[in-house]
Amino acid sequence: MTEFVHDGAPRAGGRPAGRHERPAAVLFDRDGTLIEDVPHNGDPRLVRVLPGVPEALRLLRDAGIPTAVVSNQSGVGRGLLTEQQVRLVNARVDDALGGFGTWVYCPHRPDAGCHCRKPKPGLVIEAARRLAVPAERCVVIGDIGADVLAAQAAGARAVLVPNAVTRAEEIAAACCTAPDVLTAVRGLLGPGPETVPVVAETWGWDR
C-alpha cells in the first residue's frame, strides 16, 4: 500500500515544498490520470473517468483552486488523429468532469524538438499563464516521469500517481507520490474533515 508521500525537497527559490502548502492551481495530465488511457484516442465515446477524479475536482473547486489539463497528444503529429478529434475528446472530458480552467496540449511528435512536449516545461508554463498564476505555485498531477520532469522544469511541484505502466525508476525518483488522484488532492489541500489522506490497496486500471 502507498499513501501520499512528500520528502520536503526544496522548491525553486530554495523554500521547502511543504506538504500542506496549498497550490495556486492544479494542472492534470489527461490520459492515465483523469481518464483511462486509450492510445491516440479520437473517439469521445471511449472516454472513461478514473475512480475518485470527480470528487478530487469537487474538492479543488470548493477550495477555489483553479485547474487545467496539460497533455501530450503526439497522435496528431504522427497522423493518427486530428486536432479536431483531440478537441472533441477534451470536450467530452470537460462535460464529464464539470470543466477546467484551460486545456493545453502538445500535438507534436516526440522527435519534433518542440518546447511544449512534456518533459519540456512549455505546457505547464502556458497553462499557468492562462490561469494568471505563477508556474512555481502550481502542482502538476500525472502518471509518468515526464509529468514530474515538466513540472520541475517549470519550477512547479508534482505528484506522481502511478499506474500499471509507470516505471519503477520513475516512482523512485518522484519526491511526491499518491495511489490515486483523490488522495493526491486531499494531500495538497491539507488536513481537514474532507481532506484526510486515504490509502488505496490497488490502482485497478491500465493505461
Please give the helix or strand (H or E) that residue 44 lies within, else none: none
In 56-101, the DSSP E strands lie at: 67-72
> Which residue is catalytic, options 31, 37, 143, 180?
31
Is residue 206 flagged as an active site residue? no
Catalytic residue among 29, 37, 143, 147: 29
CB proximity list for 179: less than 8 A, separation 6 or greater: 1, 2, 3, 161, 162, 199, 200, 203
Q: How many CB atoms lie within 10 A of CB 33?
A: 26
DSSP codes joined into one string, 116-179:
SSTTSSHHHHHHHHHHTS-GGGEEEEESSHHHHHHHHHTT-EEEE---TTS-HHHHHH-SEE-S
Strands in 64-115 per DSSP E: 67-72, 102-106
User: Residue 29 catalytic?
Assistant: yes
C-alpha distances (whole Å) from 21 to each of 37, 94, 122, 172 are 30, 27, 24, 23
CA nearest 82: which of 73, 69, 93, 95? 73
So which residues are the catalytic ones?
29, 31
